[in-house]
Amino acid sequence: MSSVNEERLKQYSLLVIVPSYNEAKNLPNTVADLKKFVPWAEILVVDDGSTDNTAQTATLLGCRLLKMPFNIGIGGAVQAGYQYALAGDYDFAAQFDGDGQHDAQSLPGLLAAAIDNQTDLVIGSRYLENNGYKTPITRRLGMRVFSRLVSLIVKQKISDSTSGFRILSRRAIVFCAGTYPSDYPEVEILPLLHFAGLKIMEAPAKMKARSNGKSSITWTKAIYYMVKVVLAITITVLREMPVRKREVV
């Protein structure tokens, strides 16, 4: 693995986008960790219509804040963050969950991977190293289906396609600020970036069990999630087909 030298990483401006929905309890820890491991980065909390004190907490912690007037969904919230990163001319943007699931300690490693390999999207993967993360069995099946499907389309192995722990280059920020799926975007964006000619890779990342609150995905949502993402990926591939034919002819 590449060396994680803070002085070297500091040369690049980094915006950490923290999508948050009712995370007032988790935010103080999340932000403290981020300040510890990426002290030079700017932290942008995107409050997606929370009903608790998420926005006030973010401001008190000294974060930048985008407060959505109502809940617009994770895709729209994260995209607003990328639009902010684009306007602010950042070299890199990170996506980092506000619920305390992601370990900020892995962030410098992801950034180093993006810089060293000149990659547009680095996905923090739970499964590259045996780091003790146990996925619930019910979820593992769905995740495996997505990862297989996505790996097939982007023609490289993606072990953790649903991970929302990511680093985006300037090119990826430009793309995502313009085009980003609205619900359950993590898997769907991968084929889109691939067909746009952007480079994707994975790097190991630690993730913890959620410290407060419960996952946003319930059973009925899980079925909708599966169907919707598979449909969206199929359509993305269909969209690309005429282009490919034209290139051949």
Partner 1 sequence: MFLRTSLFSFAFSILLFIFIIELIRRRKLQERYSLLWLGVAVAMMIVSLSRRLLEILAKAVGIYYPPAALLLVGLLFVIALLLHYATVISKLSDENKTLAQKLAILENKLDERS
- Give whichever of 28 and 142 is closer to partner 1, judged by the CB atom: 142
Beta bridge partners of 19: 46
Return residues touching partner 1 (CB under 8 A).
69-70, 182-183, 224, 227-228, 231-232, 235, 238-239
First to last CA, the chain: 42
- Give whichever of 7 and 70 is closer to partner 1, judged by the CB atom: 70
Beta bridge partners of 20: 47
> Which is it for strands 42-47 and 64-67: parallel, antiparallel or unpaired?
parallel
Residue 60 has, within 13 A of its CA and on its CB side, a CA count of 9
3-state secondary structure of 166: strand
Distance of closest approach, residue 70 Cβ to partner 1, in angstroms: 5
Distance of closest approach, residue 53 Cβ to partner 1, in angstroms: 19
- Give whichever of 12 and 224 is closer to partner 1, judged by the CB atom: 224
Distance of closest approach, residue 127 Cβ to partner 1, in angstroms: 27
- Give whichever of 157 and 239 is closer to partner 1, judged by the CB atom: 239
- Give whichever of 3 and 220 is closer to partner 1, judged by the CB atom: 220
Distance of closest approach, residue 234 Cβ to partner 1, in angstroms: 9
Distance of closest approach, residue 168 Cβ to partner 1, in angstroms: 22
The counts of H helices and E strands in the chain are: 9, 7
Contact of 207 with 101, CB cutoff 8 Å = yes
- Give whichever of 154 and 230 is closer to partner 1, judged by the CB atom: 230
Contact of 68 with 77, CB cutoff 8 Å = yes
- The angle at the Cα of 178, spanning 172 to 181, to the nearest 5 degrees, equals 90
**Strand stretches in the chain, DSSP E:** 14-20, 42-47, 64-67, 92-95, 121-125, 166-169, 200-204
Measured distance CA(86)–CA(93) in Å, rounded: 9
Distance of closest approach, residue 243 Cβ to partner 1, in angstroms: 12
- Give whichever of 182 and 211 is closer to partner 1, judged by the CB atom: 182
Distance of closest approach, residue 158 Cβ to partner 1, in angstroms: 21
Task: Return the closest-CA partner of residue 166 out of 176, 156, 151, 153.
Answer: 176
